[in-house]
Amino acid sequence: MLNASVVAPPEREDAIRRALWESFSRVDIDHHTSQVDIAARMALGTVGPMKVCSAQGTPVSLRRTQRLASEDHEPAVFLGLQVTGTNLVGQHGRQCLVGPGSLVVVESTAPYTLRFEQSFGYLSLRIPREALALPERMLRKVAAVTLGPGNPTAPLAFTYFSQLAASEELRAGTYAESVVGPSVELLRAVVTSQLGDTAPAGAASDELLGLRITQYVRAHLADPGLSAPRIAAAHGISIRHLYNVLSRLGISLGDWIRSRRLAECRQELAGPYGRVHTIAGIGRRWGFMDATHFSKAFKQAYGMSPRVWRDLHHRTPSHR
């Protein structure tokens, strides 16, 4: 949480920049007011792999340069919700004006600008592009486009993400992991609804097939027999076509399945059954038949062993 009003005026610009750079996104910031008039309140947090920034402030421009974009090693999609005021958004050579109640998408790996000409309220979610699993072509088409009343799913998404950002309970503990999937699916729905029938028939068909494949994989994650031949057979396509479709979505099948399985293990270890079942048993339930391999993969993904993660959520007297 940052309240710039408690910071000395000469230090406010640096405090705001540091908070954004360290916790959310690296951007150049140009305030449209004098140092003494700069006002900003920011709440920064996470929901599983997503980052959330809630901000209110005086007129300002945020600019992600080509250099900053090229330094982003974790490609992401920013979903912006305009609460009050307006926002002139520019990316990929186009601009749109976003008013209260509307949404906008920008990509982290390309330059963009956000220009707030008046005092504003704004929510932004940073969602890993890998988790979203949508082709770059689709994201490029909806970037810097106002997603508002003309999009049938946008009002629902605005209400949902506003409540998600406001609820500390939803953003904490075991609830966080459970809302990641619905959040990603809802953003997918907003993007595909916005594009409608504008995509070429073949490309649109492959994109819909890709979504069906990822939904199928999620539904069968716990099945140790889940494999490329089985997935291809379930959709009546060749293995080669399967890999081609997923490649266009930016998905490496083996890595994607492993990361989804690890996320399920992480949620289960932190949940009520985390202290009932063994760590190895939870790993096996989600397809990790080798306990050592599971522990190494978990630590590589989350920076701690599954045992440490579980102990953080299930304190016992011996851990106090």
Please name which of 65, 196, 66, 214 lies closest in space to residue 138, comparing C-alpha atoms.
196
Where are the extended beta strands (E) located within 67-130? Answer: 76-84, 87-91, 94-98, 103-107, 112-116, 120-128
DSSP conformation class of 6: G
**Would you state the pLDDT for residue 115?**
93
pLDDT higher than threshold 80 for residue 272: no
**Residue 66 CB coordination number (10 Å):** 9
Residue 269 and residue 175: Cα distance in Å, rounded?
13
The answer to whether the beta carbons of residues 54 and 43 sit under 8 Å apart is yes
The strand pairing partners of 61, in sequence order, are: 30, 115
DSSP conformation class of 98: E
**pTM for the whole structure:** 0.63
Residue 176 and residue 316: Cα distance in Å, rounded?
22
Sign of the alpha-carbon torsion through 106, 109, 115, 121:
positive
pLDDT higher than threshold 60 for residue 316: no
Residues in the chain: 320
Mean of pLDDT values over 98-125: 90
For residue range 195-237, list pLDDT tens digits in order: 774 444 445 456 667 777 887 888 888 888 889 999 999 888 8
For residue range 55-74, list pLDDT tens digits in order: 888 898 999 888 888 777 67
How far the first Cα of the chain sits from its last, in Å, is 28
**Would you state the pLDDT for residue 200?**
45
Task: Give me 279's structure tokens.
Answer: 């760590």
User: pLDDT above 90 covers what percent of the chain?
Assistant: 11
The answer to whether the beta carbons of residues 266 and 302 sit under 8 Å apart is yes
Indicate the burial class of 56 (C-beta count within 10 angstroms; 0-12, 13-18, 19 or more). Answer: middle
For 181, residues 6+ apart whose C-beta sits below 8 A from its C-beta are 218
Helix (H) or strand (E) holding 63: strand 60-64
Kindly report which listed range (70-74, 254-258, 281-285) carries the lowest average pLDDT score: 70-74
The strand pairing partners of 22, in sequence order, are: none
- HSE-up of 217 (CA within 13 Å, CB side)? 26
Mean of pLDDT values over 169-178: 61
Residue 50 and residue 52: Cα distance in Å, rounded?
7
Taking all residues of the chain, what is their mean pLDDT, rounded to a whole number? 81
Kindly report which listed range (35-39, 49-53, 201-205) carries the lowest average pLDDT score: 201-205
Residue that the structure tokens 């998404």 belong to? 157
